[in-house]
Amino acid sequence: MSDFVWKEEFTEYAIRNLKHSTWAYVNPPDILKTIEWIQQVGGNVTSDEFVQRHKTVEIKHEDYRQISIHLGLLTKSSGGSLHLTDRLSRLGFYSGKELAASIEDCGIDNPVNLNILGHNFTLYVRESLPFCCKLMRPGVPKDYLETVLADHYVFNQKLNQFKFDNLLRILKELDVIEETEKGFVVKHAPPALTFYYIASEYFFLALNNVDVKIKADDLLREVHYLIPNRKEDFTVLGFERFPIEGWGENQAWMTPKSFEQLLHIGLIDPLCIARILQTIVRDKKNPSQDLAHSTLRQLGKRILDHVEGFRGEPINLPEVLREYEVPD
């Protein structure tokens, strides 16, 4: 057991992270062309200019403006004009100005731009994170992925067949995953996926404890097996140093401060949160035992409330809800 104490703000973050994202169609070339154009005309455009451009430039889907806002690349002023975001606009996301600078420096077809989009997409559409973590090497066939993910509750929402197919397509187009002869694997993990998986594996090895030391080699081996090609840019997530202390050394651990930051951003899986709370509830010496107990109940109720809005109950709902049962 560790001396880690659950706080009221952690409960607020955990509840907020159960709110699912709104998305339907994402076409990366549309977004990249839009960001390049706005940069070329000075960094901001009126709504009328945006509509006029849509009429004159080949755009595959009309939703590209809204998804660019959701991905933290554009923001709308009170007057209705759109402008590129900066780094301070949204914690954890690459800004529109950073993506525009990358396009300007490297060219619109450079893979770096897709890596930036891949990060923002996986951070916004967080069901993509456990989705990618199913892609163990040498590869996972699509039919197996459908069996374990389609119509299941994944991260914070039901992944129906339409979303499953769309997610597979978008992650491929963003170069996050690729299909090999053996099936699908992670091609390039952006920071959101990298640190989500590092956190998930840390909690597995630390037996759902925070601030407990584990063997650094064990953690690194697990991470490298799934995502050998990964970006470890922790600065985009607001960290001044690597979120895991002792990374690559003898012992590794996650400090309460790093836990709070990752939870705030939304990169700790709700099931990991439930198991951490279970661990605290079982520790009679932990001063936050009652708060952990209350938080488990709140989270379980919030999931049930969300499920009422789904078309059909997720296949794995009973299994998910068991994680939020309060232990005796």
> Can you tell me which residue has the tokens 């009328």?
48
Is 165 within the bounds of a domain?
yes
Shared-domain flag, residues 66 and 165: no
Q: Which structural domain, as residue segments, surrounds residue 222?
A: 8-20+191-319
Question: Do 212 and 302 share a domain, yes or no?
Answer: yes
**Whole-prediction pTM:** 0.94
- One domain for residues 205 and 314: yes
Q: The tokens of 325 are what?
A: 């049962």
In a domain, 225, yes or no: yes
The whole-number pLDDT of residue 114 equals 96
Domain count, the chain: 3
Residue 288 lies in a domain: yes
In whole angstroms, what is the distance from residue 23 CA to residue 8 CA? 30
Pairwise CA distance, residues 170 & 128, whole Å: 10
Contact partners, residue 51, CB within 8 Å, separation at least 6: none
Q: Give me the sign of the Cα torsion angle 207, 213, 215, 220.
A: positive
State both tokens at 295: 């938080």
In a domain, 315, yes or no: yes
Residue with tokens 């651990």: 253
Together in a domain, 147 and 75: no
Residue 231 and residue 116 share a domain? no
How much is the pLDDT for 74?
93
Overall residue count recorded for the chain in this entry: 328
HSE (side-chain half, CA atoms, 13 Å) at 317: 18
Over the chain (328 residues), the average pLDDT of each successive run of 10 is: 90 95 83 91 84 64 76 87 85 95 94 96 96 94 96 94 94 96 96 98 97 96 94 95 94 97 97 97 94 96 92 94 87
- Residue 60 has a pLDDT of 54
Q: Do 154 and 210 fall into the same domain?
A: no
Q: 195 and 289: one domain? A: yes
Establish if 129 belongs to a structural domain.
no
Residues 35 and 152 in one domain: no
Tell me, rounded to whole angstroms, the distance of Cα 36 from its chain centroid.
25
Cα–Cα distance for residue pair 148/134, rounded to 1 Å = 9
Separation of alpha carbons 203 and 200, rounded Å: 5
128 inside domain? no
Structural domain includes residue 174? yes
In a shared domain, residues 145 and 55: no
